[in-house]
Amino acid sequence: MRSEPYNVLENGVAGRLPEEMVLFTHLSGEAEETESGQDMLIPFAFEEMLCRDVGAGQVPPVLHLWSHPGGVALGLRDSRLPRAGAAMQALEEQGIRTAVRHSGGAAVPLDAGIVNVSLLLPKSPGKLDFHDDFRLLASLIAEAVAVSHPQAAALIRAEEVTGSYCPGDFDLAIGGRKFCGIAQRRQSNAYFVHAFVVVSGSGLARGELIRSFYAEAADGDESLDYPRVRPDTIAALGELGGLDSAAVFTAGIRQAAARRGTLLKPADRLQQETGFSLQYGDPRVLEAARVLRERYAR
């Protein structure tokens, strides 16, 4: 069922955040951004393990903010294009890491100017409709933008942006140019809703990167099913009259959550109180990344 476009802030408060969430951050340049953090699959494996722990009741619901210094994450369908392997190798030779992710969607770039926002939540028995969770994350992102740039935030709409990379019903756009996409992945007892937010840098350059990948991966076969990317449909918030700093955006996310009455508990405090700890270099995370790589490798 296709969702109708709407103005995110004018639509009212969408859904409720839990009263308490644990905050994990892995932003490019932070201390834990070690060699393991350069692996494209580590953030996805980390969330896979953390989501299992949320579902098992070992940890409260989680807000995870992260970025990657430079890569392209592909959808499974992308990896099946006839020259996907050669296109991925071409990116690797440019110093751009690649990986096939297990969550939904198509190819997206990741770099220090893109902040990824994930909500990891326990699943209620019988829960089937996840549209409210998409709306919840969309409204949280718009509220984060409004903390520093209310005029830009007032223009944010949720709508599929035709011609963008990884298009979907819950693209977030200003003036028809996409700066954010939202996806989700479910497990048996928990799920996560994930957004990439293009904060700074050139949307056009990122769109061209993904357009070029598809041009080589599809080998000119117009009959194949893949996004026809038009680079001018993508923009960073900083290009749309909004903020242009990852630090300002993540501070806005924290403030938006607090204004909703959610207590964000730092991960290190959770470790002090309960002994629970999960790091990018944790053996469970590294093993999960290995399994994902073997399972979804082309």
Contact (Cβ atoms closer than 8 angstroms) between residue 101 and residue 115: no
The conformation of residue 232, written as its DSSP 8-state character, comes to G
Longest dimension (CA), the chain: 56
Give every CB contact of residue 113 below 8 A, 6+ residues apart in sequence. Answer: 67, 198, 199, 200, 201, 236, 246
What is residue 238's DSSP assignment?
G
The span from the CA of 131 to the CA of 67, in Å, is 25
Q: Are 24 and 253 in contact (CB under 8 A)?
A: no
Q: How far is CA 66 from CA 14, 98, 133, in A?
A: 23, 17, 19
Residue where the block lists tokens 């009259």: 241
Q: Whose CA is closest to 79, among 63, 60, 99?
A: 99
Catalytic residue set: 166
User: Taking CA 79 as the corner, what is the angle to CA 178 and CA 286, rounded to the nearest 5 degrees?
Assistant: 90
Q: How far is CA 255 from the centre of its chain?
A: 19
Rounded Cα distance between 256 and 171, Å, is 20
CB-CB contact of 260 with 62 (8 Å) = no
Cα distances (Å, whole numbers) of residue 17 to 43, 143, 147, 260: 22, 13, 18, 7
Query: What is d(CA 174, CA 157) in angstroms, rounded to the nearest whole number?
Result: 6
